Amino acid sequence: MNEHGYSSVEDIVLGALKQEFGSIHQAMDEKMVQEKIDNSKKLYELAVAEYRINQSAHNYNILITAMLSLQYWNQKRARFFSITEDF
């Protein structure tokens, strides 16, 4: 565990997400964020199903990855598209 209480797997996953997409406070396009949330939910459901069948270290790490991804994308700020313009 590091000083934040994360394991090395968690550090790697969160670091990769932040490197690729920025912190959760850096807004991204709403459509992309929603797409990532939907994909993260699918990954999470698959990971849970696999872990229920086989509680291996590999499946545990995939489950941790899926949970962190879902958490990251659900907390990610989104830029909302507006059809009105400020004049």
Average pLDDT, the chain: 88
For residue 40, is it within any domain?
yes
Tell me the average pLDDT across 3-18: 80
Q: In total, how many domains does the chain have? A: 1
Q: What is the pLDDT of residue 87?
A: 45
| pLDDT for position 8 | 82
To 5 degrees, how large is the angle CA 37–CA 16–CA 38? 10
Q: Which domain holds residue 57?
A: 28-79
Question: Does residue 2 form part of some domain?
Answer: no
Establish if 46 belongs to a structural domain.
yes
Other C-beta atoms closer than 10 Å to the C-beta of 47 total 21
pTM: 0.81
